[in-house]
């Protein structure tokens, strides 16, 4: 039974925690690429989709990762090492890693995703795309945004093209454009203007999470009484 529990514990750690550490580490660079796509690189929409996928992986496998400490406690109980110092230290580090993931990493990822992919980008990407090529459609989108913020436009009288009207309306309303879609922060509660500073903070939180899990792994390998321990 002890061997079975230990095997499940190790497999759960590999299957559940592994994807979280990898996806969380890939998230900040992917977010930076979405903010400023390199020349010849993936389109902004593709980069944002990658960021959203990485966040989903982290969120799902973080829930699955609950299995790891559950089988860890069961294994430790069968081995009779619940009171050992190395196990207590690993429990504390595991709790800290879980806290960093839940309190810092996942919420900051969510904020970045909401900033890069607000609801309006899902509701009307086709309309935004057509607004870039069709002057009438672009003017209609600009008028809609202006009315939302209590502003009016006189683009028809001024002979302004649809694209210019959209740009002027978004600047007047303090709008952030993502992947060719202009939306206001007020239209999506909790949306922030994502900057490189957000990705740097997220990278630091992710690094702390990864270091804590690395320390736990080392304790599991070199624990006293193991074949590799002192």
* 71-94 per-position pLDDT tens digit: 888 888 888 878 888 889 989 999
Mean pLDDT value across residues 117-145: 44
Averaged pLDDT for residues 41-48: 73
Whole-model pTM: value is: 0.63
The pLDDT value recorded for residue 4 is: 87
Cβ-count burial 170-189 (b if 16+ within 10 Å, e if not):
beebebbebbebbbbbebbe
Q: Judge whether residue 157 has pLDDT over 60.
A: no
Better-predicted residue by pLDDT, 148 or 197: 197
Q: Given phi > 0 = left and psi -120 to 50 = alpha, else beta, which region is 86?
A: alpha
| Average of per-residue pLDDT values in the chain | 72
């Amino acid at each position: 039974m002890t061997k079975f529990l230990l095997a499940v514990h190790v497999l759960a750690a590999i299957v559940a925690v592994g994807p979280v550490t990898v996806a969380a580490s890939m998230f900040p660079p992917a977010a930076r690429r979405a903010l400023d796509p390199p020349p010849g690189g993936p389109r902004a929409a593709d980069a944002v989709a990658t960021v959203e996928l990485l966040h989903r992986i982290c969120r799902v496998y973080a829930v699955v990762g609950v299995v790891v400490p559950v089988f860890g406690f069961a294994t430790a109980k069968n081995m009779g090492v619940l009171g050992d110092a190395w196990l207590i230290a690993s429990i504390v580090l595991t709790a800290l890693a879980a806290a960093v993931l839940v309190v810092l990493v996942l919420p900051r990822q969510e904020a970045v995703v909401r900033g890069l992919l607000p609801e309006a980008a899902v509701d009307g990407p086709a309309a935004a795309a057509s607004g870039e090529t069709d002057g009438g459609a672009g003017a209609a989108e600009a008028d809609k945004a202006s009315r939302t913020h209590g502003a009016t436009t006189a683009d028809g009288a001024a002979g302004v093209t649809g694209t210019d009207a959209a740009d002027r309306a978004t600047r007047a309303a303090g709008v952030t454009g993502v992947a060719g879609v202009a939306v206001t922060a007020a239209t999506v509660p909790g949306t922030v203007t994502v900057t490189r500073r957000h990705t740097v903070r997220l990278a630091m939180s992710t690094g702390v999470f990864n270091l804590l899990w690395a320390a736990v792994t080392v304790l599991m390998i070199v624990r006293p009484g193991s074949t590799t321990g002192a």
